[in-house]
Structure 1
Amino acid sequence: MSLLGIDIGTTNLKVGLFNRDGNLIDVRTAPNRVYYDKHSFPYYEPAVLVESVIGLIKELQEQSTHEIETIGITSMAESGLLVNQETGEYISPILPWFDRRTNKIADQLRLEIDEIDRFKKTGIKHSYKHGLAKILWLKEAGYQIKKGVKWLSTADLIAFHLTKVVATDYTLAARTYVYRIDTKEWDESFIQKCGLDKELFPEVKASYEPVGEVSEGFDDYGIKEGTPVIVAGHDHVCAALAVGVVTPQVVLDSIGTAETLVGSVAERTITEEDYRSGLNFGVHVLPNRLFWMGAIQSSGGSIEWLRNLLADDKLSYDRLLYLLEGVDHQPTGILYFPYITGSGVPMPDTDVNGAFIGLKASHSKEDVIKAVLEGLSYEFEWMRNTVEKILSTKLDQITSVGGGTKNRHWMQLKSNVSNCPITIPEINEATLMGAAMLAGLAKGIYQDEADMLDVIDQIKKEEIQPNSSLYKKYKNVYQNGYLKLQDPIRQIYTNNE
């Protein structure tokens, strides 16, 4: 038996087969092509996306002897489109999460809402990214939102194509900004206030519940009629599940251009303090939990910026790692504030800029490289400490995934600064695996949640341990330097407005 995971990402589409033990059997990838209209607004072409995903499944199955038992679909969060449920017609293109055509409408909406009240209901802050702003833009642009038309995320779109059923999951429904995570229902009064109808939005199911079964006509693609399909939900939360980040003490640290932290907490009321933290919250893919999420905007981005800065032909990763080999293990004495694209949790600020403080003529290229990694580690520690305070729980287990984990110097620094062990799972396709395993849970391939988590716990891991003596030195720099200079740095830009 095999479990199929489908991941609709910003830049790539992936399908992967897994066995019951979570081992990857095979995977296929294709680019998720972005188009641009005459106004230079980005969009995805829904027919192209669907055909690409189905084609990848066919290609995968042509080389496989494994029968697909169940299908789980995960995706980027806020990208979506309008679809006619009755005819299957695509009413609009897919508007990506990063599409800023909705800025004006989002700004207008901000004047009409109580942002803190909306946050307490939805778990997310008002943004141009969310489904509501996209729907209002499409309506204003003349797209017909008639009876039978539904708003679907990209994961919902693939599920609809396979099953002819319109449905979504809790994690993606909330990214519309009109779904209440406190009551698990569409906010009908707010939807009407926005001039829309509740019927525009799909049925909502848990991420481990089938939305439907594969309809006829897919045998040639290696998918049997009647195969259960789930919308597994938000890609980051699926990835967190795949590496076992499902208890309050453990945090997923996913390191790419941005660095995203994801954790879980028992279901509870969302508060104004949560709003002030800058974190986002949502219903978890497993029962009786919420997930929380925060980001360091320019984590891997800081390293890319530095690589371009330090060499005419971009400093190679191998050269960067070689230079770090010769650096002293002690703190550099340089403070780097990684705000080259603004700051996120715990003090969101789009206007603040990055900074180096403490540079000396004696400092080398190697010291500056290490200082960037130290600054990113301090920022991570600040977020971790903030979340501990808000959630009243100890976050002392860090699981890291993503390209940044290849830099073991960085991982060791982060462990030393936080005084926490860092676990690096030996897994290449965490998001796909999380979607596939949720599908296995829905199908009954796993007896229950505990059975599935026991399988996940068997994944091979590497563990990096902190150096306690270096932790004390870094703690002093962090508390007496990095934190104390936060307000002065931000005041520079506030005072210059």
Structure 2
Amino acid sequence: MSQPALIGVDLGSTNIKAVAFGLGGEQLAQATTPTITHVPRPGWAEYGAEEVWTAVCSVLRQLLANLPANAVPAAVTCSSMAEAGVALDAHGQPLYPFISWFDQRTIPQAEQWARHIGEETTAKITGLGVRPVYGIFRLLWLRDNAPDLFRRTRRWLNMADYGAFRLCGATATDYSLASRMLLLDLARKEWSATLLEANGLDGSVLGELVPSGTQVGRVSSQAAAETGLPAGLPVCSGGHDHVCGAFGLGLTQVGDTFDSMGTAESLMMTTAAPQLDGSVTRRQIGQGVHVAPNRYYAMSGVQMSGGAVDWVRRLLLGAALGDAATPEGYEQLMQLAGEAPPGSGGVFFVPHLRRANPPHVNPHARGAFVGITGDSSRSHLARAVLEGVAYEYQLVLENMAEAVGVQPSKLVATGGGTRNGVWMGIKTAVSGLPITIPAVDEAVCLGAAMLAGVGSGVYASFADAAAQVQFASRTIQCDPTLHQFYRQQYEQIYKTLYGALRETNELIRKGIVGRGV
């Protein structure tokens, strides 16, 4: 007997992948290929539009070749990184590569926006602060630096939108990706006439706004020939990768919190409505539209989470293991950390290796070990880093909860860090909340596939999709005694460290102290 296969395609900054799922969320097949990133000059990062499409075609062909014989494609949806966009001419041809979300060339455009429009006005419309990362600054950079190409631009599409465009010809944008353009009126869910006018932009260049999980077309005969997908297959709108991942894991109720643990750590909390008085943005928290109906989200994070753990691994074990990040190296680090007592013998670590994290606004903050003595060992340092990252995570989580007035009701974590029992035990003890770790390897693609099922009618509704998709998980419970200990350490000591170190760090930055002779 045949079974429908729902296909989610994720266009990420590291990999482009396609995964097929059954209606219950079971993975049927997968294919992946590295994303080709071009760095034409320092601080820049681009993706060729044709190279992206070639990669999509490649993974879809591999996926279809790996599908079980009884699996029949039922619908497809694309998700992607946010902010990266591409300009298309009147014939749908790309005029310039995708400019990545981490490309730094857009700083002048963001600075001009901040002077001309201002943080407060922007926040009250979009729920976001003025940061160079947002999609609009890539379009404005094109206007300022390639005016001939800008004049020929008829559509600006996010990466997932471009995937759908190549599949079926639609030029639509879902609300979750539109939220990261810095042009969406979050309350009205429409492109902001105020912000468009302030920048002299014609709104027709932007994609038609649609909810995630909307059928926007069907696979064309040309796309069918290139991808192997059947012509006429429903193509549905997807969304921002983080938000699709949260949806795939069932995080659609107010207070549900998604913790994506990587080099950086992203925290996303589901909310019922945005707060647009500027108070949330002043706390360095972004807001946007969820892919689930009638839901929004608040998003924040820790700049160096897994990155700090990798840094201390190299610091303490690099000579023995080399610089390569291996499972054995992390196991040795966790074993080392497990040998130290809770509190790390009085050693604290502030993980500001790139900048301070919310609620603090300081790109010049520095990391620090505090409390080292002659008795401090490698084990103390290893555990102090895990504790410091957990304290910082708690600081960010509390800041977000206070800003939106919602307490986390459920914490679900994914990523490589979830495999480290010592680290996860410390995190639950610091927060006082259990953390659920789902047995789902491809949550983003699962969320995209579920949206394909909703949009094509394979699922009767969003609720039906959530009810049918099931997966195993494990929950790490909080140790009450350890929580009491860590809470005292956090409140009485850790929360004072940023303020205590701020002036010293500023002196170091200015070169008054530590300048070489």
Normalised by the size of structure 2, how large is the TM-score?
0.92
- Residue correspondence of structure 1 range 314-393 to structure 2 within 5 A: 314=323, 316-329=329-342, 332-393=345-406
Question: Structure 1: which amino acid aligns with 2:235?
Answer: V
The CA deviation string for residues 270-293 of structure 1, in whole angstroms up to 9 with x for no partner, is 222211211110011011111111
- Residue correspondence of structure 1 range 232-381 to structure 2 within 5 A: 232-310=238-316, 311-312=318-319, 313-314=322-323, 316-329=329-342, 332-381=345-394
For residue 193 of structure 1, the aligned residue among 180, 195, 198 is 198
Question: Residue 12 of structure 1 aligns with which residue?
Answer: 15
Rounded to whole Å, the distance in 2 between the matches of 1:170 and 1:332 is: 49
For residue 501 of structure 2, the aligned residue among 478, 481, 489 is 489
Distance 1:431 1:474, change over 3 A: same
Rounded to whole Å, the distance in 1 between the matches of 2:366 and 2:254 is: 32
Question: Residue 26 of structure 2 aligns with which residue?
Answer: 23
Question: Residue 61 of structure 1 aligns with which residue?
Answer: 64
Is the contact made by 2:343 and 2:384 (CA closer than 8 Å) also made in structure 1? no
For residue 477 of structure 1, the aligned residue among 464, 489, 496 is 489
Asked whether 1:37 is paired with 2:40, we answer yes
The CA deviation string for residues 330-352 of structure 1, in whole angstroms up to 9 with x for no partner, is 55422111101002222232111
Asked whether 1:447 is paired with 2:479, we answer no
Is the contact made by 2:31 and 2:63 (CA closer than 8 Å) also made in structure 1? yes
Question: Structure 2: which amino acid aligns with 1:172?
Answer: L
Is the contact made by 1:62 and 1:222 (CA closer than 8 Å) also made in structure 2? no
Rounded to whole Å, the distance in 2 between the matches of 1:298 and 1:370 is: 16
For residue 95 of structure 1, the aligned residue among 93, 99, 123 is 99
Q: Secondary structure at the match of 2:267?
A: strand
Q: Secondary structure at the match of 1:111?
A: helix
Rounded to whole Å, the distance in 1 between the matches of 2:285 and 2:503 is: 23
The Cα RMSD (Å) is: 1.8
Deviation at 1:80, TM superposition (A): 0.8
The CA deviation string for residues 417-469 of structure 1, in whole angstroms up to 9 with x for no partner, is 1111111000100111111111111122222222222234x310111111101
The CA deviation string for residues 308-365 of structure 1, in whole angstroms up to 9 with x for no partner, is 2113224811221232343334554221111010022222321111111111211211
Question: Structure 1: which amino acid aligns with 2:297?
Answer: F
Rounded to whole Å, the distance in 1 between the matches of 2:315 and 2:369 is: 14
Rounded to whole Å, the distance in 1 between the matches of 2:388 and 2:43 is: 36
The 4+ residue runs of structure 1 with deviation greater than 4 A are: 494-497
Q: Secondary structure at the match of 1:278?
A: coil
Q: Unpaired segments of 5 or more residues in structure 2? A: 511-517
Q: Secondary structure at the match of 1:445?
A: coil
Rounded to whole Å, the distance in 2 between the matches of 1:438 and 1:109 is: 35
The CA deviation string for residues 70-119 of structure 1, in whole angstroms up to 9 with x for no partner, is 111110001111012x4121111111111111122222222111212211
Question: Residue 207 of structure 2 aligns with which residue?
Answer: 202
Q: Secondary structure at the match of 1:4?
A: strand
Q: Secondary structure at the match of 2:20?
A: strand
Question: Structure 2: which amino acid aligns with 1:80?
Answer: G
Question: Residue 137 of structure 1 aligns with which residue?
Answer: 141
Q: Secondary structure at the match of 1:225?
A: coil
Rounded to whole Å, the distance in 1 between the matches of 2:345 and 2:467 is: 42
Q: Secondary structure at the match of 1:176?
A: coil
Rounded to whole Å, the distance in 2 between the matches of 1:111 and 1:210 is: 40
For residue 52 of structure 1, the aligned residue among 32, 46, 55 is 55
- Aligned sequence identity (%): 31
Is the contact made by 2:87 and 2:153 (CA closer than 8 Å) also made in structure 1? no
Distance 1:62 1:118, change over 3 A: same
Asked whether 1:410 is paired with 2:423, we answer yes
**Bigger Cα displacement from structure 2, 368-377 vs 216-225:** 216-225
Rounded to whole Å, the distance in 2 between the matches of 1:361 and 1:229 is: 63
Q: Secondary structure at the match of 1:100?
A: coil
Rounded to whole Å, the distance in 2 between the matches of 1:272 and 1:115 is: 8
Q: Secondary structure at the match of 1:162?
A: helix
Q: Secondary structure at the match of 2:221?
A: coil
Rounded to whole Å, the distance in 1 between the matches of 2:153 and 2:243 is: 30
Question: Structure 1: which amino acid aligns with 2:95?
Answer: I
Deviation at 1:2, TM superposition (A): 0.5
Question: Residue 461 of structure 1 aligns with which residue?
Answer: 473
Q: Secondary structure at the match of 2:397?
A: helix
Rounded to whole Å, the distance in 1 between the matches of 2:389 and 2:51 is: 39
Rounded to whole Å, the distance in 1 between the matches of 2:496 and 2:485 is: 16
Normalised by the size of structure 1, how large is the TM-score?
0.95
Q: Secondary structure at the match of 1:262?
A: strand
Question: Residue 513 of structure 2 aligns with which residue?
Answer: none
**Bigger Cα displacement from structure 2, 486-495 vs 291-300:** 486-495
Rounded to whole Å, the distance in 2 between the matches of 1:58 and 1:42 is: 27
Q: Secondary structure at the match of 1:21?
A: coil
Rounded to whole Å, the distance in 2 between the matches of 1:424 and 1:123 is: 30
Distance 1:268 1:60, change over 3 A: closer
- Residue correspondence of structure 1 range 89-168 to structure 2 within 5 A: 89-142=93-146, 143-146=148-151, 149-168=154-173
Question: Structure 1: which amino acid aligns with 2:83?
Answer: E
Q: What is the number of equivalent residue pairs in this alignment?
A: 495
Question: Residue 515 of structure 2 aligns with which residue?
Answer: none
Question: Residue 84 of structure 2 aligns with which residue?
Answer: 79
**Bigger Cα displacement from structure 2, 365-374 vs 312-321:** 312-321
Rounded to whole Å, the distance in 2 between the matches of 1:43 and 1:378 is: 35
Is the contact made by 2:274 and 2:297 (CA closer than 8 Å) also made in structure 1? no
Rounded to whole Å, the distance in 1 between the matches of 2:362 and 2:14 is: 27
Is the contact made by 1:255 and 1:402 (CA closer than 8 Å) also made in structure 2? yes
Rounded to whole Å, the distance in 2 between the matches of 1:35 and 1:476 is: 48
**Bigger Cα displacement from structure 2, 15-24 vs 438-447:** 438-447
Is the contact made by 1:332 and 1:370 (CA closer than 8 Å) also made in structure 2? no
Distance 1:166 1:291, change over 3 A: same
Deviation at 1:231, TM superposition (A): 2.6
Question: Structure 2: which amino acid aligns with 1:493?
Answer: N
For residue 425 of structure 1, the aligned residue among 433, 438, 444 is 438
Q: Unpaired segments of 5 or more residues in structure 1? A: none
Deviation at 1:156, TM superposition (A): 0.8
The CA deviation string for residues 248-267 of structure 1, in whole angstroms up to 9 with x for no partner, is 23211110000000111102
Rounded to whole Å, the distance in 1 between the matches of 2:462 and 2:165 is: 26
